């Protein structure tokens, strides 16, 4: 059996054919020269690789490039980016085997997608549940309904500052983390490598054991509360009941199928309600696999699509995570979360960061690159459809039915941010006009023509025509330019 070459996002046992298959792992500094990553992401990836390097049977080498380090006959699981796949194909003596680390196969996705005009998560998710017999009672969905979103879209509990679920177990750093931190400091000092975001204690698993501990804790203590408030935000509780497992799954430390099976067991044993389990399974079996397949299914040029002709570059305060420059409470808090943790949950990503970028007409490719660099769980495959397609609507609706554009009233309903904010979500023009509310209307005004044919946008566009102060609002937003709100 040839040695299995594993990339930094293929660290778990499911990337080997047998537990004793020898492994080749290459640490390449060049990756950090090409892009300015979040400091905590660099730390997490290096720490995870160096922990894996300690395992028996692992040949660990450091090299400027992969090509220098890979010699002899090796096999590798299909990598997660086009660039890495190109490299694997160019290197001699490297056999590429099908991808792992996802539940559904490329063949199944292509068979499902072929001939469909629109690719929609809901249809794919139902197909995947049947195909893999997840949360099924024979041919029917467990509990009789495929979709429990209606139970899972609640605002935060009234008056609560926290959701009140137990926090994930704290990670205890070791001598490998100490070495990683010293190396990163030295690279910054001596090698001209730079990072974005603050350093801080490692918050995410770097070993399989840490990842399993987090999974067990999540399923026992946090999963039951996951569903109802999964879309809600509280300033004092950035984690809510989210799993924080994306970095571990994306590093390959956890197999998504084992995560799904644990969640399903909790439902079957009566330890977690169906709405929470279905909502969570939908994220992994549904969204995660869907996004992965779209990366390969769409043409490579998809990453550069720009149907809304958004051409502005990211302002410095946003690019550099300068949360203190921002007065709008939601955006400032979320940007601080990215700066301090490299992670915020799904709704701040979509409805606070992505929504703001789309309203302002920032270039989708630049926004995708920013997410890729600034998030501990960011990889090219996961960025492309999530950011370019879902959050920026730059593909004109190939994977979603309408833009995720919303004004301050959405943030107000789904969070406690607006109470303490200097802006008023109900006000669209004037000194205390909420930048999200004003940005929403100016986005609609800018794209009225291209959105006119979308039946889900008909009502908002009718609302636009009823605004008496639209001209003043548009002037105000023009004057705001790229200034921090």
> Under the rule (CB under 6 A), what is the footprint of ligand FAD?
242-246, 249-250, 280, 283-284, 287-288, 291, 345-346, 349-350, 354, 371, 375, 377-378, 382-383, 386-387, 390-391
Distance in angstroms (rounded) separating the CA atoms of residues 249 and 230: 19
Comparing CB distances to ligand FAD, the nearer of 386 and 476 is: 386
Give 355 or 476: the residue with its C-beta nearer to ligand FAD. Answer: 355
Minimum distance, C-beta of residue 266 to ligand FAD, in the bound complex (Å): 14
d(CA 113, CA 11): 30
The whole-angstrom separation of Cα 285 and Cα 146 is 13
Pick 354 or 435: Cβ nearer ligand FAD? 354
Q: Which two tokens stand for residue 38?
A: 């979040």
Residue closest to 77 by CA, chosen among 2, 1, 10:
10
The string of DSSP letters for 163-214 reads --PPPPPPPPP-HHHHHHHHHHHHHHHHS----BS---S--S--SHHHHHHH
Q: Which residues of 255-279 are buried (b: 16+ CB within 10 A; e: fewer)?
A: bbbebbebbbebbeeeebbbbbbbb
**DSSP helix/strand/coil, 61:** strand
What CA–CA distance (Å, rounded) separates 22 from 192?
35
DSSP characters over 330-392: HHHHHHHHHHHHS---HHIIIIIIIHHHHHHTB-HHHHHHHHHHH-TT--HHHHIIIIIIIIT
| Closest CB to ligand FAD among residues 152, 476 | 152
Between 8 and 382, name the residue whose CB sits nearer to ligand FAD.
Answer: 382
Cβ closest to ligand FAD, residue 363 vs residue 428: 363
Distance, in Å, from the CA atom of 71 to the CA atom of 91, rounded to the nearest integer, reads 9
* Smallest distance, ligand FAD to C-beta of residue 262, A: 12
What whole-number distance in Å separates Cα of residue 448 and Cα of residue 444?
5
**CB of 378 vs ligand FAD, minimal distance in Å:** 4
With beta carbons less than 8 A apart as the criterion, state whether 189 and 334 touch.
Answer: no
Q: Give min distance, CB of 357 to ligand FAD, in A.
A: 9
Q: Which is nearer to ligand FAD, 176 or 336 (CB)?
A: 336
What is the sign, positive or negative, of the torsion defined by CA atoms of 84, 85, 90, 93? positive
Please, what is the minimum distance in Å from the beta carbon of residue 244 to ligand FAD? 4
Q: Which is nearer to ligand FAD, 340 or 428 (CB)?
A: 340
Closest separation in Å from C-beta 104 to ligand FAD: 13
Distance of CA 186 to the CA centre of its chain: 29
Note whether 299 and 384 are within 8 A (CB). no
Q: Cα angle vertex 101, ends 278, 341, to 5°? A: 75
Q: Which is nearer to ligand FAD, 378 or 425 (CB)?
A: 378
Q: Shortest gap between Cβ of 263 and ligand FAD (angstroms)?
A: 9
Q: Considering beta carbons, is residue 205 or 407 the nearer one to ligand FAD?
A: 205
Q: Kindly tell me which of 276 and 476 has the beta carbon lying closer to ligand FAD.
A: 276
Least separation in angstroms between CB 326 and ligand FAD: 18
Contact criterion met (CB below 8 Å) for 379 and 371: no
The minimum distance between CB 467 and ligand FAD, in angstroms, equals 28
Nearest-approach distance from CB 465 to ligand FAD, in angstroms: 30
Token couple for 436 = 């999200």
Residue 225 Cβ vs ligand FAD, minimum distance, rounded to whole Å: 12
Phi/psi region, residue 100 (left: phi>0; alpha: psi -120 to 50; beta: rest), is: beta
């Amino acid at each position: 059996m040839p040695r299995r070459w594993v990339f930094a996002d293929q660290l778990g046992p499911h990337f080997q054919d047998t537990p004793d298959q020898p492994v080749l792992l290459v640490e390449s500094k060049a990756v950090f020269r090409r892009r300015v990553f979040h400091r905590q992401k660099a730390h997490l990836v290096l720490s995870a690789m160096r922990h894996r390097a300690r395992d028996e049977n692992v040949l660990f080498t450091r090299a400027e490039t992969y090509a220098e380090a890979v010699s002899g006959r090796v096999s590798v699981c299909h990598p997660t980016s086009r660039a890495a796949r190109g490299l694997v194909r160019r290197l001699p003596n490297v056999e590429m085997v099908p991808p792992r680390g996802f539940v559904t196969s490329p063949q199944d996705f292509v068979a499902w997608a072929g001939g469909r005009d629109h690719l929609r998560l809901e249809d794919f998710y139902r197909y995947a549940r049947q195909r893999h017999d997840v949360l099924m009672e024979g041919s029917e969905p467990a509990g009789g309904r495929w979709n429990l979103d209606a139970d899972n879209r609640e605002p935060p509990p009234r008056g609560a500052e926290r959701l009140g679920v137990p926090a994930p177990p704290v990670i205890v750093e070791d001598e490998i983390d100490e070495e990683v931190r010293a190396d990163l400091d030295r690279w910054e000092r001596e090698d001209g490598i730079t990072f974005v975001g603050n350093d801080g204690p490692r918050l995410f698993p770097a070993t399989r054991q840490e990842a399993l501990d987090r999974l067990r804790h999540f399923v026992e203590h946090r999963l039951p509360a996951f569903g109802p408030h999964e879309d809600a935000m509280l300033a004092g509780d950035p984690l809510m009941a989210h799993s924080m497992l994306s970095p571990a799954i994306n590093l390959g430390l956890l197999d998504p199928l084992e995560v799904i099976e644990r969640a399903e067991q909790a439902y079957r044993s009566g330890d977690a309600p169906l709405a929470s389990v279905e909502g969570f399974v939908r994220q992994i079996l549904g969204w995660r696999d869907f996004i992965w397949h779209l990366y390969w299914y769409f043409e490579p040029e998809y990453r550069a699509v720009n149907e809304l002709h958004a051409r502005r570059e990211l302002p410095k305060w946003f690019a550099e995570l300068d949360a203190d420059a921002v007065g709008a409470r939601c955006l400032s808090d979320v940007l601080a979360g990215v700066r301090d943790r490299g992670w915020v949950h799904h709704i701040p990503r979509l409805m606070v960061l992505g929504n703001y970028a789309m309203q302002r007409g920032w270039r989708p490719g630049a926004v995708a690159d920013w997410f890729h660099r600034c998030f501990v769980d960011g990889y090219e495959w996961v960025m492309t459809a999530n950011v370019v397609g879902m959050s920026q609507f730059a593909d004109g609706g190939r994977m979603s039915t309408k833009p995720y554009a919303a004004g301050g009233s959405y943030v107000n309903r789904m969070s406690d941010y607006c109470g303490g904010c200097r802006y008023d979500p109900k006000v669209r023009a004037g000194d205390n006009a909420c930048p999200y509310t004003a940005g929403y209307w100016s986005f609609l005004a800018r794209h009225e023509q291209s959105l006119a044919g979308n039946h889900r946008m008909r009502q908002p566009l009718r609302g636009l025509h009823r605004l008496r102060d639209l001209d003043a609002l548009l002037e105000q937003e023009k004057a705001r330019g790229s200034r921090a709100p």
